Amino acid sequence: MNCTKCDREAVMHAAYSGTHLCERHLFESVERRVRRRVREDDMLPADATPDDPETWVVGLSGGKDSVVLTDILHDTFEEDPRVEMVALTIHEGIEGYRDASLDACEELAADRDIRHEVVTYDEEFDVQMDDVAEDDPLDMAPCAYCGVFRRDILARYADDLGADKLLTGHNLDDEAETALMNILEGNVEQVAKHFDASLGPFDERNEKDGMIPRAKPLRDVPEKEIALYAQLRDLPVHMAECPHASEAFRGEIQDLMLKLEENHPGTRHSIMAGYEELAGLAADEYGDEDREVGECEDCGAPTTRDRCRKCALVDAVNAV
Ligand code: SF4
Ligand code: ZN
């Protein structure tokens, strides 16, 4: 089969758009969607200048999504003095898995000359996720601890690094799955939060609750295309899955989504189009509610309780 745009041999078929793309046109198509998202979300404000550049902290895990995101952003903004990029890698203390992916991150950062910071749960909290998964003092899934620790580090380091935005490599599949999960769980407040945190326009969600705004420039690109892009570009990527991955519900949603997309191409795109509109309405509804956000009495992190969740979890884990 030939490429829809030229007569070279196609390397992929996108059923949702009915196109076949050759390697070159796949590259162009992925990069175009990332740049369009940056533009449409107004990620680069007009007042960013070479003297007062935007600092973008990119979460770099070494998996395909964050590696592709970092590489495309670097390519796009390397020569643009209005943007300074910092890659931030978090080491959770997961033997085998995270060491190999850290190598991928270091290779990419060194090769592209990108500033790279590595933070470990060990140094921050005296915690290793391998131990947490084994001891599990609060009888929850490992990811429930890990997500709280990660969010704490991302928020603090983004702040320390002077970040204007925090960018992550969530792709179309991730986002459509999250959307569907929020809806199936009937969690309208979570839908509103999703909008405030990463879907709505930046000028409306700047610094909400003292949080640095998030951006997900890969959110229009399906996972399969990102994987193929990484492979054909020969990017340093670590493919393995975390041994503690435990989100069973997400797994079911993933299976469902694959089936829906196969039988009804374009489902992920239409879920996101409708969901974004819905989430905007939910955010309007919840946005006016005054939530009392104070500071954690131990670490100063923003929280609605006396002590933040992270401090409570660190105590529980270290009490074992
Ligand atoms: Fe942490 Fe769960 Fe991700 Fe593993 S899969 S790194 S435990 S959040
Ligand atoms: Zn705290």
Q: What is the ipTM of this complex?
A: 0.97
Q: What amino acid is encoded at 281 in this protein?
A: L
Model pLDDT, residue 152: 93
Q: What is the pLDDT of residue 210?
A: 63
Å from CA of 45 to ligand 1 middle: 33
Distance CA 158, CA 58 (A): 9
Q: How much is the pLDDT for 44?
A: 87
Instruction: Please return the burial class of 237, using the count of CB atoms within 10 Å of its CB with bins 0-12, 13-18 and 19+.
Output: buried
- Please identify, by atom number, the ligand 1 atom nearest to the C-alpha of residue 129: 7
Residues in the 5 Å CB sphere of ion ligand 2? 296, 298-299, 301, 308, 311
Give the tokens for residue 118: 């590595």
Contact assessment for residue 70 and residue 100, using Cβ atoms and an 8 Å cutoff = no
CA 186, distance to chain mean position in Å, is 23
Which residue is closest in CA terms to ligand 1's atom 8? 143
pLDDT for 208 equals 54
| Known binding positions | 3, 6, 22, 25, 59-61, 65, 90, 169, 174, 296, 299, 308, 311
Structure tokens at 306: 């006396």
Compute φ and ψ for 215, nearest 5 degrees.
-140, 145
**Neighbour count for residue 242 (Cβ, 10 Å):** 18
Q: Closest Cα to residue 244, out of 141, 138, 108, 120?
A: 141
Beta bridge partners of 2: 9
Neighbours of 201 (CB within 10 A): 12
| Residue numbering of the annotated binding site for Zn(2+) | 3, 6, 22, 25, 296, 299, 308, 311
DSSP structure string for the chain: -B-SSSSSBPSEEETTTTEEE-HHHHHHHHHHHHHHHHHHTT-S-TT--SSSPEEEEEE--SSHHHHHHHHHHHHHHTT-TTEEEEEEEEE---TTHHHHHHHHHHHHHHHHT-EEEEEEHHHHHS--HHHHHHH-TT---HHHHHHHHHHHHHHHHHHHTT-SEEE----HHHHHHHHHHHHHTT-HHHHHHHIIIIIS-HHHHTTGGGPPPEE-TTTTS-HHHHHHHHHHTT-----PPPTT---HHHHHHHHHHHHHHHHSTTHHHHHHHHHHHHHHHHHHHHHTS----EE-TTT--EESSSS-HHHHHHHHHHT-
Check pocket membership of 146 for ligand 1, CB cut-off 6 A: yes
- The pLDDT tens digits of the residues spanning 98-136 come to 888 999 999 999 999 999 999 999 999 999 999 999 999
Give the pLDDT of residue 289: 60
**Which of 92, 140, 145, 238, when mutated, tests ligand 1's pocket best, judged by the most ligand atoms within 8 Å of its CB?**
92
CA distances to 80, 159, 292 from 202, rounded to whole Å, are: 21, 17, 22
For the chain, list residues with pLDDT below 50. none
Write down how long the chain is.
320
For residue 143, the ligand 1 atom closest to its alpha carbon is 2
**Alpha carbon distances (Å) from 89 to 29, 173, 246:** 27, 22, 21
Domains of the chain, CATH where assigned: 48-287 (3.40.50.620), 290-320 (no CATH)
- 244-274 confidence digits (pLDDT tens): 987 778 889 999 999 999 999 999 999 999 9
Cα–Cα distances (Å) from 128 to 69, 117, 163, in that order, read 27, 19, 27
Task: For strands 214-215 and 294-295, give the pairing.
Answer: unpaired
